[in-house]
Amino acid sequence: MIQQAVLLCAGKGTRLGDISANQAKPLIEAAGKPFVSWFIEDLINVGVKDIVILTGHLGGQFELLRQTYSQVRLVTSNLMVNKGVLGIPGLADKFLVANGDCYPIFKESTDLGNLLTTSRRSTVCTKEKAKVVVDCGLAVVDKVSVGMGLINCGQFSSMIDILGHFDLDTNLHINNPEGLEGARTWLSGKTFTVSSQ
């Protein structure tokens, strides 16, 4: 099973305007806790042991996640110094990468666990497959794929084949104030727990 996740949280979140002027976008409150905490807890629930938060803008604010979750560690992203994702100490051969401002909603509560338990090697997508996985906000990749120069999750999810089948119902993306309010509304009514069973 894949036991490492990299959450990309280094951006400035300028499309949220004043809402994210002094707060890192993934840390904006949604239904009682930081937005990114919802996905962190889902990852922990399916057995992910190492959750790397790749920080940049307002990076010091993410310390609260490290203090809250023993599985979380913080790495500052600097493409010039440490090559971003490739510069993460202890980067696994295969890992999940996801945008910190997205929360994937799977059709089945077991789909996240299924995605992480497959053993098939990732491969470059065909154009047809790319249409299916583009913009889903997460993908399972390997170091070789990252070495091809894929830096952000949009590129990951459009160019790299997912390792296991899952159906993504929708993706909460807090890329603007309307998206943030929609995410808050949905998460306030969230009743299921993600499970690997």
Look at the chain and report how many structural domains it folds into. Answer: 1
Distance between CA atoms of residues 141 and 159, nearest Å: 10
Query: Whole-model pTM?
Result: 0.80
Residue 164 lies in a domain: yes
Q: What is the percentage of the chain residues whose pLDDT exceeds 90?
A: 26
Per-residue pLDDT, 84? 63
Sign of the dihedral through C-alpha 156, 150, 84, 24: negative
pLDDT, one tens digit per residue, over 183-196 is: 888 888 875 555 44
Residue 86 lies in a domain: yes
State residue 165 phi and psi, 5-degree precision. -75, 135
Per-residue pLDDT, 32? 92
Residue 194 lies in a domain: no
Domain with 146, as residue range(s), is 4-188
Residue 193 lies in a domain: no
Residue 196 lies in a domain: no
pLDDT, one tens digit per residue, over 85-109 is: 777 888 888 888 888 888 888 777 7
Give one word for 31, left, alpha or beta, with left for phi > 0 and alpha for psi -120 to 50.
Answer: left
What average pLDDT does the structure give for the chain? 75
In the predicted structure, residue 136 carries a pLDDT above the cut 80: no
Per-residue pLDDT, 22? 92
State residue 7 phi and psi, 5-degree precision. -105, 120
pLDDT, one tens digit per residue, over 9-68 is: 888 888 888 888 899 999 999 999 999 999 999 999 999 999 999 998 899 999 999 999
Residue 50 lies in a domain: yes
**Can you give the CATH number for the domain in which 125 is found?**
3.90.550.10
Residue 153 lies in a domain: yes
